[in-house]
């Protein structure tokens, strides 16, 4: 079996954006991306498989689903693909994953990758509205972030699968932006997910209300307790501690 493979279930069109939501700090990316799937009724068009994924199959409404799926979001004239991963990938699999995903995105003509996630903040408990940082790859990405009024991710490390995806974009001069909301490190954070979705809106024009997400906040936190524990185990292996580290360039 190859390291990673993409299986297309239907004709996957050339896409303007690939939005990515994976389990990471505060499960921000996972909560945000699954919310988009439910709210927009996004159809599954492909899935990824790999021996680096845990040996699990998801059942939802009595139907089997692979744990890493690509959905298509209808968005008024634009083609948006959404990658949702229910599980964190272990350290051994993330390099090949990032490479494969970005190559596949390129083959689909994706104009820009948009990664949804969190950046841990020790003050998160005191924040009503977490800020969202934008980490861009190309000059075009940075200009877009500045023009859209984002806090730029100016200094520090990004780690884990998103770091590798951004690196692959950098190596190929592809556009890529990580939207990272201030979040809890190790508690599910629907508030941060709502912030990231609000930030995504002007970039892709999805117009999704986050009110229902905020209303379900406590229920989501309670239900995703075990998912958070599994994700924390994976984060330990994938360099998460670097996000608290001051880089030498900043000294």
Partner 1 sequence: MEEWFEESFRELRRELRRLMREVEKFFEPVVDAERGEVEPLYEVIDAGDRILVRVDLPKVDKESVEVSVIGNKLVVKASMREPLRLCDLPYYARCEVTGYKLELEMPLDIDTEKIQATFRSGYLEITLPRKKAYRVKVE
Three-state DSSP at 161 gives helix
Which of 65, 95, 157, 187 lies at the binding interface for partner 1 (CB under 8 A)? 187
Please tell me whether residue 222 binds partner 1 under the rule CB under 8 A. yes
Distance CA 176, CA 166 (A): 6
Residue 160 CB, nearest approach to partner 1 (Å): 19
Please tell me whether residue 11 binds partner 1 under the rule CB under 8 A. no
Binding segment toward partner 1, per CB under 8 A, in 41-49, 76-84, 163-171, 211-219: 211-219
Residues binding partner 1: number (CB under 8 A): 16
Please tell me whether residue 225 binds partner 1 under the rule CB under 8 A. yes
- Cβ-based nearer residue to partner 1, 1 or 125: 125
Please tell me whether residue 38 binds partner 1 under the rule CB under 8 A. no
Which of 77, 139, 218, 249 lies at the binding interface for partner 1 (CB under 8 A)? 218
End-to-end CA distance of the chain: 45
For the stretch 147-156, contacts whose Cβ atoms lie closer than 8 Å and that sit 24 or more positions apart, written own/partner, are 148/202, 148/203, 150/179, 150/199, 153/119, 153/178, 153/180, 155/247, 155/249, 155/250, 156/243, 156/246, 156/247, 156/250
Three-state DSSP at 85 gives strand
Please tell me whether residue 186 binds partner 1 under the rule CB under 8 A. yes
Please tell me whether residue 112 binds partner 1 under the rule CB under 8 A. no
Q: Which residues bind to partner 1, rule: CB under 8 A?
A: 125, 184-188, 217-219, 221-223, 225-226, 228-229
């Amino acid at each position: 079996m190859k390291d990673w493979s993409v299986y297309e279930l239907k004709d996957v069109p050339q896409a303007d954006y690939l939005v990515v939501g994976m389990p990471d700090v505060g499960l921000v990316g996972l909560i945000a991306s699954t919310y988009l799937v439910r709210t927009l009724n996004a159809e599954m068009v492909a899935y990824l498989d790999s021996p680096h994924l845990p040996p699990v199959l998801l059942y939802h409404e009595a139907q089997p689903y692979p744990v890493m799926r690509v959905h298509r979001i209808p968005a008024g004239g634009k083609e948006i693909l959404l990658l949702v991963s229910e599980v964190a990938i272990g350290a051994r699999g993330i390099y090949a994953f990032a490479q494969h995903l970005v190559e596949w995105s390129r083959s689909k003509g994706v104009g820009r990758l948009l990664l949804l996630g969190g950046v841990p903040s020790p003050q998160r408990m005191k924040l009503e509205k977490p800020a969202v940082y934008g980490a861009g790859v190309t000059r075009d990405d940075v200009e877009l972030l500045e023009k859209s009024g984002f806090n730029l991710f100016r200094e520090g490390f990004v780690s884990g699968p998103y770091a590798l995806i951004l690196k692959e974009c950098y190596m190929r001069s592809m556009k890529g932006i990580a939207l990272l909301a201030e979040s809890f490190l190790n508690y599910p954070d629907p508030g941060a997910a709502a912030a990231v979705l609000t930030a995504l809106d002007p970039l892709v024009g999805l117009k999704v209300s986050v009110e229902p997400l905020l209303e379900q906040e406590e229920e989501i936190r309670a239900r995703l307790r075990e998912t958070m524990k599994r994700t924390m185990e994976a984060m330990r292996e994938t360099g998460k501690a670097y996000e608290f580290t001051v880089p030498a360039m900043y000294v």
